Each structure stands twice: as C-alpha cells, then as structure tokens.
Amino acid sequence: MKDNRERAIIVGAVLRGEDRQVIEEYLDELTLLADTAGAKVVQRMVQERQTPDPAFYVGKGKAEQIRLACEENDVNLVIFDDDLSGVQIRNLEKLIGRRVLDRSALILDIFAKRARTSEAKVQVEMAQLKYNLSRLAGQWRHFSQQYGIIGTKGPGEKQIEVDRRLIKRRLALLREKVESVSRQRQLRRIPREGIPKFALVGYTNAGKSTLLNALSGSDSFVEDRLFATLDTYTRRIYLSSSIRALLVDTVGFIRKLPPDLVASFKSTLEEITFSDYILHVVDISSRTFREQIQIVEETLNQLGCASRPTLIVFNKIDKVEDFEKVKTLLKEYASNSVAISAERHINLEELKSKMLELMKLEIVEKSFRIKPNQADKLANILSIAELVEERHRSDTLLVKIRLQKKDWDKLKRMIYA
C-alpha cells in the first residue's frame, strides 16, 4: 500500500555545552511528534555549533546540505527541533525550497488536528494566532504600501500592519470566548465542592487517560500517540466502599511546550489549580523519564501548584525488564510514590490506598452507639461512611466508622435524627 504521508527531514543542533546523545533522544521525540502530525521522517540531520546562526539557525552551509538531502529523498517538509524566528524560517524556505516548521509550529499543528471540542479549538486557534503574530514581520515577503481608501488622505498601511491588526482583533474575540468557558467551568464546579479532587498530570503519553479509565471504569479516548486527547475529563471514583473522589484528566506536558499554548489552555489547565491533590503519572519505561518528571514539575511551578500534595505514580511497570530499577525509585521517592500498570490493572488497589493516605488529613474516624433495631439508620450512615468496626452489646450496637470531614455534620443529623 502506498504511503501518501508527507516526507520529512528533522533537524537538530548540538549547541555549546549540550550532550549529543541527549539531542538524539530529543530527535526521537520529534520523530514521534511528526508521526502524530501525519508525516513520515525519512532522515535526521544534526549540526554541532557554538550558537544558533541568526540567519539560518544551522548555518548556510548546513542549510544547503539539507536542500540536497530533500532533493535526493523526495522530501517536502523540514522540521527543526527548536523554535525559529520569522527571518530564519523565511531564509530557510527560500534556500531549501521546501516548507519549514519549527517545534512549536509542529505541536500547534498536532493540537489543531486533535482538538475535538469547541473549547479546545478556540484555545488552539488563539495559540496559533499568537505564534504567527510574533513571527509576522520576519516571514512577510512583500512590504508594498496599500493604496489609501477613497476619502482618506496619505499613503495606505503596509499589509503587515493590516494583518497584525486583524490578528489582534480575532485574539480579542477568542479571549472573550475562553473567559466565558472559564466562567462556565466555575459554575460546574459548584456542585462538586467538598468532594476531594485529584488532578492527573504528566508528560504526554504517560498513560493518564488509561489510568482514568482503569480507576473509574469509563471509556475516555485513549491512543498510543502523543497528545491523544486535549480535553479535560472528570470522573467520580471510589477509593473505598464510601470514600469518593473526583479524578480529572488534563492535557499532557512536553519539553518546550509553546508558552502561547500554555497560556491559551489556561481554562483547561486551571483544573489542576482547583484540585486538592495531584497524581503525577510517569512513564517509567521511558529512557528520559527523569527529565520528563522535571519538565512536569517546572510546569506545575508555573501554574502555582508546586506545593500541592502530590503522589508520583510510576506507570507501565509491565514494560520494565529490570524491576530493581522500580524498587530503587520507590525507595528514592519514599511514601510519596507507587508503581503500577494502568493498562494491565496492576497495583491499582495499592494506588487507591496511597491516595487515601494522601487524604488522611481530610478523613476522620468516629464512634457512636445505636439501638439494634435501627438497621435502616445504620444503612443510611454507611452510604456516606465506611464501617471500620462494630461490637454488639445487649441493648446497643457500638459502631466505628471512617468518613470525610466534610460529611460529619451530615452524619450527625442521621445519627441523632
């Protein structure tokens, strides 16, 4: 079967002080991003230099080599692993004769393809417009003056100024839509107030959506690709027979996630800021999982959530050959970690126990007495509380229960009604 995907060359640069092996791993990730976007990578090229070239990023000589490689391999797309200026993109496209994308443009393209809800589409469009606005001057190819409109005096505006004004006008409209969505989200949160909320965060493709489905029994969209889903999903789960919580899946993070994208997805990412606890899901089978942990922590810090009670969830242990690696990590992160496989449902009960431990400050144990003939009252009590112990006496039943602090007032009304 003929492969009709765009053929691409990916390009990276090893700058002063950087490790070539790390750059090669970055290019592995860029290959996955290109595949997610629908392109087939046929070659990778790396240049070592002290600093980026201001005109071509990799230098004119290397750019010429890229042009020749495109001709030899029938390539129609060149993707750089770093962000390029408008001038660099313009110069490279002129010399190479092929379309040139940088890392941010590729990620934005993926988000545009993957956006399913109207909210996600608005957020992606905002990020794309901000990206284009910052590169408009460098990429503009003709600066001829427009003629003045009839009835006006003097020369017309440059086309670039017209485009800039149109983009800003569109951005203002989209911001209003995003603010409206944010207000709607806030209203939807009101009925959930008082229920502990866990936000699932992690590097893209760490397995957050799979874990959401495993714990809640839902069927949220899951695919083994980067940024499989951009939308926020909230599901109710039970950590024990009576202790319930909300689990919120959020968009995955990635190295060099475009700042405009983070800003545009604020209404989605703010679900993290409104959560009580964080489950940081880590793909332990990834060679770069430590860097991924750092990237997620840096993003959480930007969102002001670094101090939120957090549980590290080492996922995909079924794909790790050396289990000593897993044991070492669990010791390193002590009681704040657990190792699971969301796909194979391994250690999910231990995960729930760890989540309960994280919530222990919000859980209380109470003891009280009821008459043996008040079985209906006990049934109502156990609808919101977990039975820890019961002891029968001749004329009373001693009951010990565990429940969330917020439910204690409600329980007292049941007991003493």
Check which CATH number belongs to the domain holding 283 and give it. 3.40.50.300
Domain-located, residue 108: no
Last residue of a domain, one of 138, 173, 189: 189
CA distance 366 to 171: 54
pLDDT score recorded for residue 137: 59
Using CB atoms within 10 A of its CB, is residue 217 exposed (0-12), middle (13-18) or buried (19+)?
exposed
Last residue of a domain, one of 360, 376, 405: 360
Domain-located, residue 109: no
Taking a C-beta distance cutoff of 8 angstroms, is the pair 107, 135 a contact? no
pLDDT score recorded for residue 219: 67
DSSP 118-183: HHHHHHHHHHHHHHHHHHHHHH----PBPPPPTT--S---BHHHHHHHHHHHHHHHHHHHHHHHHH
pLDDT score recorded for residue 143: 40
pLDDT score recorded for residue 138: 54
CA distance 186 to 179: 11
pTM here is 0.71
pLDDT score recorded for residue 264: 64
Residues 211 and 336 in one domain: yes
Tell me which residue range forms the domain holding 231.
Answer: 194-360
The type of residue at 18 is E
CA distance 76 to 98: 5
Per 3-state DSSP, the chain is made up of helix, strand and coil in percentages (nearest 5) of 45, 20, 30
Residues 286 and 218 in one domain: yes
Q: Which long-range contacts (CB under 8 A, 24 or more apart) does 405-413 make?
A: 405/362, 405/363, 405/364, 406/194, 406/362, 408/364, 408/366, 410/384, 411/366, 411/381, 411/384, 411/385
Residues 30 and 67 in one domain: yes
Domain-located, residue 110: no
Residues 249 and 341 in one domain: yes
Mean pLDDT per 10-residue section of the chain, whose length is 417 residues: 84 91 89 90 94 94 96 95 92 94 89 76 84 70 40 50 82 82 63 73 89 84 60 82 83 78 66 85 91 89 83 95 89 89 95 89 76 75 78 81 75 72
Domain-located, residue 1: no
Last residue of a domain, one of 156, 189, 222: 189
Token readout for 55 is 């005109």
pLDDT score recorded for residue 147: 38
Residues 74 and 151 in one domain: no
Number of structural domains the chain divides into: 4
Using CB atoms within 10 A of its CB, is residue 96 exposed (0-12), middle (13-18) or buried (19+)?
buried
